[in-house]
Amino acid sequence: MSMTVNTALEIAEIFAAYSVITLLLPHIVIGKSVHFKNKYERFMLYTMCGNFYVMNLVYLLELLHISHKITLIAGTVIPLAFIKIKLEKIPFGEKLSRRWEWLRKFTGGQLKVKAYREQGKEERSARNKKLFKKAFKLVFSNIPEVLLILGIVASTFYTFGTNLFTDYGYKLSDIVVHNAWINQLGENDIFTRGIYPYGFHNMLYYMHEVFGFDTYVLLRLMNLIMITWTALLLLCFLELLCKSRFIPFLGVYGYVLFDFLESAGYIRFCGPLPQEYSVLFVLPTVYCAFAYFREQRREDNGCAARRSYKYLGGYVISFSMTLSTHFYATIATGIFIVAIAIGFIVWFIRWEYFKKLVISSILAVVIAVLPMGVAYATGTELEGSLKWAINVMTGAPIVAGDEQIVIEADENHEPLFEYNQRILHDVFGVKNSTSQAFVATIRQELDVTLINTNFFWIYALMLSFPLTAILGVFYMLTKTGDKMYGAVLLSNGLNMIFMTMLLCSFDFRLPQLMDQSRTCVFFSLTMCGGIALFVDAVLNLICSRFYKKHLLNIVSFAIVVALLAASLTTGYIRKPIKVQGFESNDAILCLTRIIRDCKDNTWTICAAIDEGRMVYEHGYFYELIDLLRGMEFVGSAGWVRIPTETVFFFVEKYPIDYNPVTYPMSGTSISKEYAAMPLPLGNSRSVYQAQNRWICMSRYYYWAETFMSLYPNEMTVYYESDKFICYRVEQNTYRLFNFAIDYGYNIPDDLRIGGE
C-alpha cells in the first residue's frame, strides 16, 4: 500500500473516530435529553461534551494510575450508560429482566433466534424508516447548507490536507515533545515534565488507546481534523448569532478558503498542537455566554422553559476546556468575555446575572485546574510554560518553555507606534502625530501579520470593528431592534478592538500577554466571525426595511455564491499550505512499514532524534549521536550494543533542515569533508541542526557503509531513495554485534594499531 493511500485511509479513520467521540457518543447519551432543536447548537454541544468527558476521564484515570484501554472503555461505556438511563428514565430493571427472560428461554430451547428476530422486526423496520426519513428531510430541506458545508470540508482538506500527502513528517518542532508526553500517558505518568494543561494530550491518548491509532499517526494528521472542526464550529457560532442564513458561510470561507489572510493566522494549523486544539473551545464558550444572557432574559420576561442553566453548563465546560488545553485560549476567551461583559453591561451588572456568570467562571477554572492542583499537591513541579503564565500574572521576568529563554522587550527595538510618531514628526512635520501614528501602526501590523490585501480593504476592515460596535449600540437603542443581537454585535466589535490592541501590544507598550504570532491564530478566527457579523448586521439593517426574512436569505445566499464564484474564477483562493516535515518522507515511510511488517519490540531504529517518540509501543530507538560517540577515538575497541534482533539505521544522504535553524548549504549532500569534521558536541537538538546535521549524517553514512562492508550478509539495504537510505541489520540477540568500528573518520591516524 502506497503512503498516499495509507495516509488517506488513516485520515478517514481518524475523522470517523473523532466523530464517534465528539458526535455519536454524546448524541446517544444526551441526544434525547437536550431539547435543542437547532442542529448547529447540537453540533457545538456534542463537541464540547465529547471533549470534556474524554479529557476529564483521562485526567481521572491517570491521576489514579489506572489508565488502560480497558479502564478507558469501561470509563466511557459504564458511566455514559448510567447517565443515559438516568436522563431518559429508562426502566433498566424491567429491560434487564426481559433480557434475562429471553436468555433463559433461548438457552432452554424455548425460543429460537429466528423467532426472536421476527418479534421486533416490524418495530425495527418502522424505526429505521423513520430515521431514514428524518435524515432525508434534514438533507433535502437544507441542500444549500449541505453543499456549502461540504465545500468547507473540501476547502480545509484542500488547504490543509494537501500538505499531509506531500510531507509526512511532523511540521512543528514542539510536536515531538507532545508525542513524548502522550507516550508517557501510556505509562500512567501524566505531567511527566511538570504540570501542564493536558487536554489535548488526553484526547489524543484516548484515541490512541481506544481506537488503536499510533500516536505518531495522530500527530501527523490530526491537524486536519482540528481545522475542519474549528471551521465547522465557527459556522455553528455564526449560524447561531447571525440573522441571515448564509452570511455565516462568508466568514467560514474567509477563514479557510479566501486568500485574504496572511499565513500567520493559520499556518500553525500545519500540525496539531495544544494551542490550536484549544481554539475549538473559544467560540463555544462565547456562544454559551451570549445564549445565557438571551435565555436568562427570556426567563426574566416570564418564559417557563429554564434553559439558561444549560447554557451556563455549556459555558462552564467550554471555558474549562480552554484552560485544560492551553492558556492562550483562556486569554483569548477571557478578552472576549470582558467584551461581552461590556456589551451586555445592562444585564451583567444585575446581581442575578453577575453572580451566575462569576460563579460559573470560577467553577470552570476549578474544574480545569483541579487535576493540575492535585498533581501539584502531590509534589509535581510546574512545567516551564506554566511558570511562564504565572510570571506573566505576577509580573516576574518572563520565561518560556523548558529552555528558559528569557523573552524581554528588546530595549534596542523601538516600538512601531513610537517609530511612526517619530517619522511623522521628523520627516513629514506632523505636529500632533499621535492619532495618525496610532492608525498607521494598526494598519501596518494588520498588513504585515494578518491581512493579505490592499490598504483600502485593511482600512475598511479596521473601520468595521468600531462600526460593528456602533451597529450593536444602534440595535440596542432602537425600539424595534433586537437588543440581544445588538449586544452581540457590540461585544464582537469590542472584542475585535481588544484583540487588535493585543496584536499591537508591543507597539503600544501594553502588557504582552501573548506572542504576536500566537495572537494571530485567535485574531484571524474572531476577525472572520466579526466580519461576517458586521455584514450580517448591515444586511439585516437594509433588508429589515422590507420586512421580509426571505429577502435577507436570498441576498445573503447570492453574496456568498457570488463571492465563492468570484474567488474560484479569479484564483483568489488560498494555496495549500506547504511546510516541510522535520523528518524526511522516506523516514516516515520506512517507519510505517517497519511498524506494519515487523513484530513489536524486536527492532530498534537508530536515527537522528524524532523517531524516538514515534516508535513507542512498537520498537526501540537509539540516537545516532550516541552510536557515533560510542566509537569516537576508540573504533572497534568501543562498546555499542543495541539489544534487539533487528536494527534499522536511517541515514539522510541529503540532510533535511531541522527547524528553526536553516543551513546555508541546505539541499546539498553529505560528503567526506563533513565526515572529516569533529563530531558535534552537546546533547540537544542542536546536534542535528545546520552544519552539525551534515557532519552527523556524513559520519553516520560512512560508518554504515563500512559496517556493511564488514557485515555484507548481515546488513542489507532495506530502502533507498535519492536522498535517504535505510539499512537493516539482523543480529543474534544472545551475542549482540558491537557496532563500534573504525570507519575511517573516528580515530586519529596516530591512535590506530600499526599507525604512525
Partner 1 sequence: MMLTKRNYFIMAIIMGITLLLFQFSQWIRDNGNDYTINTYSEIKIPANNAFVQNIAEVGDNVKFEEWDYILFLGKTNTNIGSIVKQWTEYSKRDLLLCSSISSFNIERYGNPGFVLVDSQFVDFKKDIKTLKEFTENGVSIVFLNLPGPDVIENDKELAALMGISYVKEKTVKVEGVKLFGGFLLGGETIYKPEKKKQEKRQDLTLEMPWYITQGGTKTYIVGIMDEYYDDYEFKNELFPAVVWRNSIGKAQVFCVNGDFMSDTAGLGILSSMIYELSPYQLYPVVNAQNTLVIAYPLMAEENSEEFERVYSRTPLAFQMDVIWPTLVKFAENDKLKYTCFMAPKLNYSDQAQPGYDKYETFLKLFSERNTEIGLCLEHSRDIDLLEKLAFDKDYYDLIEKRYPSTSAFMDKEDAGYLSEIVNDPYIKNVRTIACDADIEIPILSYITEDITLQSLTSDTKNFTYSRDLMLKSIETALGYDNAKLDLGTVTWPDYDSDHWEIVYNDMSSSLKTYWMPFRIFDHTTLTESDARVRTFLNIDSESKREGDRITLNVKGTNGEKCWFILRTHGEKIDKISGATYSKIEQDAYLIEVTSEEVTIDVKKSNTIG
Residues that bind partner 1 (CB under 8 A): 589-590, 593, 597, 631, 635-641, 643, 709-714, 716-719, 726, 728, 730, 732, 734-742, 753-754
CB 220 to partner 1: min, Å:
19
CB 574 to partner 1: min, Å:
35
Q: Could you tell me if residue 212 is left (phi over 0), alpha (psi between -120 and 50 degrees) or otherwise beta? A: left
The whole-angstrom separation of Cα 709 and Cα 430 is: 76
CB contact at 8 A, 696 and 679: yes
Nearer to partner 1, 165 or 718 (CB): 718
CB 646 to partner 1: min, Å:
8
Nearer to partner 1, 174 or 730 (CB): 730
CB 620 to partner 1: min, Å:
14
- Cell numbers placing 502: 493585543
Neighbour-count burial for 440-472, b at 16+ CB within 10 Å, e otherwise: bbbbbbbeebbbbbeeeebeebbebbebbbebb
Contacts of 666-674 spanning 24+ positions with Cβ under 8 A: 668/694, 670/694, 670/697, 670/698, 670/701, 671/698, 672/698, 672/702, 673/698, 674/698, 674/699
Give the helix ranges, DSSP H, for 598-665. Answer: 611-614, 624-629
For residue 656, the 8-state DSSP code is P
The whole-angstrom separation of Cα 319 and Cα 333 is: 8
CB 202 to partner 1: min, Å:
35
The whole-angstrom separation of Cα 527 and Cα 251 is: 9
CB contact at 8 A, 506 and 415: yes
The closest of 238, 240, 234, 257 to 248, measured between CA atoms, is 238
Nearer to partner 1, 324 or 646 (CB): 646
CB 634 to partner 1: min, Å:
9
Nearer to partner 1, 679 or 736 (CB): 736
CB contact at 8 A, 58 and 325: no
Nearer to partner 1, 57 or 747 (CB): 747
3-class SS at 573? strand
CB 696 to partner 1: min, Å:
19
Q: Which residue reads 445566499 in cell numbers?
A: 557
CB contact at 8 A, 726 and 718: yes
Nearer to partner 1, 299 or 623 (CB): 623
3-state SS string for 499-552 = HHHHHCCCCCCCCCCCCHHHHHHHHHHHHHHHHHHHHHHHHHHHHHHHCCHHHH
